[in-house]
C-alpha cells in the first residue's frame, strides 16, 4: 500500500509518497506567501495552504496506482491560530508560530495568571508564539472577529478538516496551544475559561497515529483516490520529524535545522523542567517529550545568503570556511525574537566581534555557529535535568550541509547520526499513516523497521574544547545586551 505524508511548513508544503517498506516514491513541494503586516508579525492564508496541498496531491500521485493509496497524515507548523466561522470559512489570516505581537497577552498569562498556574494547567508557560496568547490578542484587538469564532484549529488540522470534514487535532500539536493539559491529554477547562472560549470551539483530540475519518467523497473524486483512504491525525512538525528520524521511545534525541530549530528528547514518562525553559509536550508515539525551540535556525542562513550576501550558492560560501573553533565573530540568531530558553520576542539578530580583518567567510561561519550555540543553550538545560545525551539524529534543510553537521557535533560534543531519509516531518507523517492503516503495530515498530542510520559525524576532542571556550563567550552576550533589545526593538 501507499502512504502520503504532508509536511505543512512555513515557506512551502512538501508532500511525500511512501510504500509500506519505507521507500519514497515521489516528493513534491508547493510554495506559498508569508505576510508581515507589521514588524514582528507573521501571517499566512490557510486558503493558500489548501490550494498548495490539493495541487501537490495531484502532482504527487499522477504516475502511481492510486488504488493503492491507503492513508494520508501530517507534520505541520505548530501554534498557528486558524479561526473558522459558522460556515467553516477562515475569519482572518492565520497568526503563525513565529509571530511576536502577543507580548502583552503573554505577560498577562505569565505574570497575572502566573507561571505556576500555567504549568499546573498545561505543563508549560506562555510564549509569544503559542496559541493561547493569540486567542487573547484576537479577543482584545479584533472583538468582532473573535465573536464569529465557531472553531479554533491549528494549521495542519485545517488541512485534515478540509480532507475529512472532521474537526480534529492530535496530542503533540495541541500541547503547544497552552490550552491543553499535557499530562492528562485533555483540554484544560481552566485555560479555556481564561481565553474566553468553550470546549465546543476546540477540536476533538486524537493520538497522532489514529485515523480521524475517511477522505470526503468529493475530495476523493477530485483526486481519483479510493473512497476509504484514511485521514490520520498526524503531529506537530517537530514530533513528526522525530518519528521520521526514529526519535521515539525513551531517551532519544533529534535536532531539527528547519526554518526554526529544535532539540527534541523523547521520554516514556511525563516530566517538566522546573524553570519551564524547555517545552513539555505529548509525543506522536503515545508518550511524551521535552523540546527546546529557537525561532530562527536555517532561516538565519537563508537570510544571510539570500538577502545580505545575495547568493543562492550556499555550498560555495561554506567552502571558504576553514578554521572551526577560532572565529572571533559571534552572531545571536534571534531574527524573529527567541523562545527557548530566553522567551523574549524583543530579542534580535546581532553580530559582535568584527574587526578590519573580518572576512565574508567569518560572518557566514558566525551565522552557522550562532545557531549551533543557541541549540546548545537548550541542550545545557536538558543536561541540567540529569538527561544524558550521547548522540542525536539530525534533520531539516540545514542538515544537508556537511559543515553545519560538523559544527553541531563539536559544539554539543556528541555524535550526530545522519539517517537515510532527511525528509523529517513528511516521512514521519507517512509513517503515522502506515501505523493507522495497520502496516505496523506501533510507531516504535515502524521506526525500528524504516529508519536507517547511514553516517555518523563524530566530534573531535580538540575542536570540542575550542568550541567550549567559544560557547562560554557566546553565553555572556545575550545577558549583556538583553536590556538593549527592549529599547531598540520597533
| Range with the poorest average pLDDT among 70-74, 203-207, 248-252, 347-351 | 248-252
Q: What is the pLDDT of residues 284-306, one digit of tens each?
A: 999 999 999 899 999 999 999 99
pLDDT at 250: 85
Examine residue 341 and say whether the peptide bond preceding it is cis (omega within 30 degrees of 0).
yes
pLDDT at 387: 81
Helical residues (DSSP H) of 129-197, grouped into ranges: 131-141, 143-147, 155-164, 171-174, 189-195
- The band of 362, judged by pLDDT with boundaries at 50, 70 and 90, is very high
Neighbours of 378 (CB within 10 A): 27
- The band of 271, judged by pLDDT with boundaries at 50, 70 and 90, is confident
**Where is the binding site, in residues?**
78-79
Compute the half-sphere exposure of residue 160: CA atoms within 13 Å on the CB side of its CA: 37
- The band of 418, judged by pLDDT with boundaries at 50, 70 and 90, is very high
pLDDT at 467: 98
- The band of 83, judged by pLDDT with boundaries at 50, 70 and 90, is very high
**pTM for this predicted structure:** 0.86
pLDDT at 339 over 70: yes
Q: How far apart (Å, rounded) are the C-alpha atoms in residues 33 and 96?
A: 13
Q: In the chain, what are the domain boundaries?
A: 2-238
Determine whether 157 is an active site residue. no
The one catalytic residue in 237, 273, 285, 362 is 237
**Where is the binding site for substrate, in residues?**
78-79
Q: Which of 160, 157, 152 is nearest to 178 (CA)?
A: 152
pLDDT at 489 over 80: no
pLDDT at 439: 98
Please provide the average confidence, as pLDDT, over all residues in the chain. Answer: 95
pLDDT at 277 over 90: no
pLDDT at 490: 62
Compute the half-sphere exposure of residue 189: CA atoms within 13 Å on the CB side of its CA: 0
Q: What is the pLDDT of residues 129-161, one digit of tens each?
A: 899 999 999 999 999 999 999 999 999 999 999
| Range with the poorest average pLDDT among 52-61, 97-106, 432-441 | 97-106
The percent of the chain in helix, strand and coil, each rounded to the nearest 5, is 40, 25, 35
Domain 2-238, what architecture? Answer: 2-Layer Sandwich (3.30)
Q: How far apart (Å, rounded) are the C-alpha atoms in residues 5 and 296?
A: 24
pLDDT at 449: 97
Q: Look at 128 and 77; give whichever has higher pLDDT.
A: 77
Q: What is the percentage of the chain residues whose pLDDT exceeds 70?
A: 100
* Cα–Cα distances in angstroms (integers) from residue 186 to residues 238, 257, 363, in the given order: 20, 30, 46
Dihedral-angle region of residue 8 (phi above 0 means left; psi in -120 to 50 means alpha; beta otherwise): beta
Amino acid at each position: 500500500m501507499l502512504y502520503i505524508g504532508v509536511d505543512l511548513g512555513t515557506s512551502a508544503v512538501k508532500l511525500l509518497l511512501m510504500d509500506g517498506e519505507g521507500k519514497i516514491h515521489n516528493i513534491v513541494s508547493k510554495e506559498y506567501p508569508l505576510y508581515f503586516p507589521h514588524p514582528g508579525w507573521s501571517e499566512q492564508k490557510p486558503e493558500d495552504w489548501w490550494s498548495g496541498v490539493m495541487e501537490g496531491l495531484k502532482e504527487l500521485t499522477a504516475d502511481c496506482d492510486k488504488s493503492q493509496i491507503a492513508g494520508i497524515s501530517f507534520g505541520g507548523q505548530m501554534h498557528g491560530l486558524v479561526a473558522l466561522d459558522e460556515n467553516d470559512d477562515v475569519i482572518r489570516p492565520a497568526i503563525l508560530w513565529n509571530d511576536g505581537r502577543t507580548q502583552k497577552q503573554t505577560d498577562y498569562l505569565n505574570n497575572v495568571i502566573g507561571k505556576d498556574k500555567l504549568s499546573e494547567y498545561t505543563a508549560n508557560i506562555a510564549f509569544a508564539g503559542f496559541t493561547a496568547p493569540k486567542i487573547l490578542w484576537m479577543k482584545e484587538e479584533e472583538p468582532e472577529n473573535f465573536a464569529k469564532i465557531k472553531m479554533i484549529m491549528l494549521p495542519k488540522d485545517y488541512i485534515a478538516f478540509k480532507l475529512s470534514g472532521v474537526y480534529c487535532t492530535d496530542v503533540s500539536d495541541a500541547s503547544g496551544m497552552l490550552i491543553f493539559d499535557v499530562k492528562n491529554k485533555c483540554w484544560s477547562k481552566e485555560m479555556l475559561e481564561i481565553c474566553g472560549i468553550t470546549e465546543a470551539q476546540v477540536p476533538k483530540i486524537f493520538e497522532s497515529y489514529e485515523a480521524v475519518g475517511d477522505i470526503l467523497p468529493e475530495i476523493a473524486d477530485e483526486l481519483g483516490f479510493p473512497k476509504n483512504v484514511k485521514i490520520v491525525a498526524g503531529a506537530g512538525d517537530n514530533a513528526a520529524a522525530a518519528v521520521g528520524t526514529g526519535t521515539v521511545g525513551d531517551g532519544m534525541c533529534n535536532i531539527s535545522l528547519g526554518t526554526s530549530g529544535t532539540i527534541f528528547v523523547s521520554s516514556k514518562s511525563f516530566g517538566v523542567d522546573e524553570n519551564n525553559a524547555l517545552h513539555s509536550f505529548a509525543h506522536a508515539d503515545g508518550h511524551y517529550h521535552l523540546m527546546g525551540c529557537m525561532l530562527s535556525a536555517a532561516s538565519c542562513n537563508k537570510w544571510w545568503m539570500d538577502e545580505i550576501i545575495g547568493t543562492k550558492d550556499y555550498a560555495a560560501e561554506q567552502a571558504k570556511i576553514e578554521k572551526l573553533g577560532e572565529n572571533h565573530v559571534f552572531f545571536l540568531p534571534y531574527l524573529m525574537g527567541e523562545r527557548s530558553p530566553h522567551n523574549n520576542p524583543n530579542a534580535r539578530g546581532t553580530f559582535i566581534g568584527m574587526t578590519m580583518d573580518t572576512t565574508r567567510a567569518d560572518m557566514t561561519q558566525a551565522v552557522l555557529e550562532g545557531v549551533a550555540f543557541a541549540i546548545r543553550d537548550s541542550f545545557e538545560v536538558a543536561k541540567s535535568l540529569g538527561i544524558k545525551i550521547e548522540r542525536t539524529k539530525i534533520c531539516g534543510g540545514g542538515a544537508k550541509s556537511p559543515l553545519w553537521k560538523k559544527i553541531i557535533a563539536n559544539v554539543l560534543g556528541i555524535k550526530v547520526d545522519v539517517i537515510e531519509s532527511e525528509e523529517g516531518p513528511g516521512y514521519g507523517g507517512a509513517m503515522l499513516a502506515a501505523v493507522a492503516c495497520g502496516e505496523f503495530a506501533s510507531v516504535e515498530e515502524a521506526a525500528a523497521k524504516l529508519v536507517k542510520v547511514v553516517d555518523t559525524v563524530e566530534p573531535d576532542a580538540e575542536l570540542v574544547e575550542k568550541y567550549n571556550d567559544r560557547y562560554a563567550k557566546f553565553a555572556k552576550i545575550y545577558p549583556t545586551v538583553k536590556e538593549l533589545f527592549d529599547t531598540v526593538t520597533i
